[in-house]
Structure 1
Amino acid sequence: MKKAYIQLHASLVLAGFTGIFGRLISLNEGLISWYRLLLSGLVLLLFYSITGKKHNVTLKNKMSLAVSGTILGLHWLFFYGSIKYANISVGVICFALTSFFNAILSPLIDKKKLSIQELLLSGITVCGIGFIFGLDASYRTGIVLGIISSIFGALYTIYNEKQAKQYESGTIVLYQMLGGFVGISIIMPLFLYVSPVETILPSLEDFGWLFVLLVVCTVVMYSLITASLKHISSFTVSLSYNLEPIYTIILAILIYHEDKGLSAGFYIGLSLIVLSLVLQMYRMKRLQRST
């Protein structure tokens, strides 16, 4: 269990850089997600081709992994859209709603009893986000995109929890990246029609940032998440990822000086989000002691 928590929080540190890369890369949100899926899948495919490792995955499970990969791709698309239409802080704070949607959607999908404690903990997060954005409507589009992103993020975590118990993490990420690339490719013509661009090819600088993003913040990060889900619940993972905004906001302040426009409500809201995480960790420790 201790190793699983180390893997989880190592992935959190890496996740803190994803929003930064979203701003550094000049491509729009759809193309960032599309290239991230494609290049991550190709890197893993090359790695396993060199090592000669075989993946005994049934066709049914390949399709299931492709679906969860597409959900992940949609999560990225709306997440980067939130950053593009607002800023890094808005995008990552909205991501904290993932635990709220996880608490609602997980019982419906898994047909299990709704946890009042999980809802209350998630409610603290919602109140925190309300403090942050309740007084400022200037980032409304970015907030809406961020909320949609958190819904897809919750769905991905729920489905990934089931799949994590069947295969090793690298195998899962491989089929999710390749399957997600196919899924996002299907909707890309429509996306590019709605959001036209001059070129779909990344510049040399963009390609460099994409490569770092896919290796560090995709292949390594999602392998760590998937490995941790073998021993930790999807809700705990989602709630732990409420720390991601803290890491990313610190980076955004240091690099882009985004603290200049932050109000007292922002810091109150951020404190509530941290409180929800601390209470969940305390709850999980009590549950472990009682079993």
Structure 2
Amino acid sequence: MASTDAAHEGSRLTPLAAHVRLQATVLLWGMTALLGKSIQVGARVLVFYRVLIVACVMLVLLRKKRIPLAVPRRTLFELVATGALVAIHWMAFYGTIKLGGIAVAVTSLSTTTFFTALLEPLVFRRRVRPRELVMGVLVVFGVAVLLGVELGSPRSAIALGLVSAFFSAAFGTWNGRLSKMMPAEKVTFVELSAALVVTGATFLVKGPFVPPWALTAHDATRLVFLALFCTALPWLWSLRVLRTLSPYTVALSIALEPVYSLALAALVFPSEERLGPRFYAGASIVGALVVLDAWDKRRRPQASQAAPPSG
């Protein structure tokens, strides 16, 4: 395992390559809300099959690359705990979509940047940066303008969306540490296997579960697409990106998800989806914040480097 991890340590992306890879990752993630809305099964069933497919794919990759599955006990606990956070985040996110719609879910999720600004200093043992908190608030404003979310949205949906955002910030920040310790395939396999167990356990408390043979062809094909192209691939990319960029920078860029989603919808369905002034105003705000953060981190490179993992 030592030789494999040593090889892993040499695979760091350059800052420019990391930013390009990050935007490609966000573009793929931008499709998840649309797919989540079109898939008819409940939020927990959706998450269960999503992580099941990804875990199986990661196991195949680990075997093919001959990456050993052995993980130190302490690290295993961290990975399993992070996987549990992932499960809660996804169940809450898709639950928000079912309760309040995509706009409420995505706007609530944009608070991930603010939560990350609070959590990252705890994990990497540094001071809170007030400018990151301010930018986190501005991101929420920009996304709200872009999507036209009103304050009258269901409170239960907003509350669940904030829960989703907090757990997204929690596992994203902790992955900033774990991504430096072992190959991305191993991190993904253990975390999403844990997420699979947590999600599956919820069906023991409250059903109903939908077995594979009961899935419609419509749902099955979209679940496979969601798992492979909107989860497995961007998940591996994001872990590599986190070896170069900070969790906060990643969280800030993820706020561009709705920008990509709406732009793609307008491109594919020009007669149905039109980009109005709200889109351009909101996209300009979020885009400017992403560029400002990148400029600030380049100006002060020591601030953009996450502390190395301890132990």
TM-score (norm 1): 0.87
Q: 2:93 aligns to what SS in structure 1?
A: helix
TM-superposed CA distance for 1:50, in Å, is 4.2
TM-superposed CA distance for 1:267, in Å, is 5.8
CA distance in 1, matches of 2:210, 2:220: 17
Q: Which residue of 1 aligns with 2:46?
A: 32
Q: Deviations over 1:38-60 (max 9, x none)?
A: 11101211333344432342232
TM-superposed CA distance for 1:67, in Å, is 1.2
2:39 is aligned with 1:6: no
TM-superposed CA distance for 1:146, in Å, is 1.9
- Note closer, same or farther for the CA distance 1:157–1:290 as it changes in structure 2 (3 Å cut): closer
Alignment of 1:237-256 (within 5 A): 237-252=250-265
Q: Among residues 209, 214, 226, which one is paired with 1:213 in the alignment? A: 226
Q: Which residue of 1 aligns with 2:117?
A: 103
- Note closer, same or farther for the CA distance 1:82–1:263 as it changes in structure 2 (3 Å cut): farther
Q: Which residue of 2 aligns with 1:48?
A: 62
CA distance in 2, matches of 1:64, 1:46: 23
Q: 2:300 aligns to what SS in structure 1?
A: helix
2:150 is aligned with 1:117: no
Amino acid of the structure 2 residue aligned with 1:70: A
Q: 1:47 aligns to what SS in structure 2?
A: helix
Q: 2:69 aligns to what SS in structure 1?
A: coil
CA distance in 1, matches of 2:262, 2:100: 14
Q: Which has the higher helix share?
A: 1
2:88 is aligned with 1:74: yes
Alignment of 1:133-282 (within 5 A): 135-192=150-207, 196=208, 201-252=214-265, 268-282=281-295
Q: Is the 8 A contact 2:179 2:242 kept in 1?
A: yes
- Note closer, same or farther for the CA distance 1:198–1:56 as it changes in structure 2 (3 Å cut): closer
Q: 2:117 aligns to what SS in structure 1?
A: helix
TM-superposed CA distance for 1:32, in Å, is 0.8
Percent identity of paired positions between Structure 1 and Structure 2? 26
Gaps of 5+ in 2: 1-14, 305-311
Higher mean C-alpha deviation, range 44-53 or range 26-35: 44-53
Q: Which residue of 2 aligns with 1:17?
A: 31
2:75 is aligned with 1:61: yes
CA distance in 1, matches of 2:246, 2:84: 22
CA distance in 2, matches of 1:88, 1:258: 17
TM-superposed CA distance for 1:31, in Å, is 1.0
TM-superposed CA distance for 1:238, in Å, is 0.5
**Bigger RCO of structures 1 and 2 (CA < 8 A, at least 6 apart):** 1
| Cα RMSD after superposing both structures | 2.8
CA distance in 1, matches of 2:291, 2:46: 33
Aligned residues, how many?
A: 287
TM-superposed CA distance for 1:112, in Å, is 2.1
- Note closer, same or farther for the CA distance 1:183–1:86 as it changes in structure 2 (3 Å cut): same
Q: Deviations over 1:14-71 (max 9, x none)?
A: 1111111101211111111111111110121133334443234223222211111111
TM-score (norm 2): 0.81
Gaps of 5+ in 1: none
CA distance in 2, matches of 1:221, 1:61: 23
Higher mean C-alpha deviation, range 89-98 or range 266-275: 266-275
TM-superposed CA distance for 1:107, in Å, is 2.1
CA distance in 1, matches of 2:82, 2:220: 25
CA distance in 1, matches of 2:160, 2:271: 23
CA distance in 2, matches of 1:137, 1:263: 22
Q: Is the 8 A contact 2:297 2:303 kept in 1?
A: no
Q: Is the 8 A contact 1:89 1:252 kept in 2?
A: no
Q: Is the 8 A contact 2:203 2:209 kept in 1?
A: no
Amino acid of the structure 2 residue aligned with 1:222: W
CA distance in 2, matches of 1:197, 1:289: 49
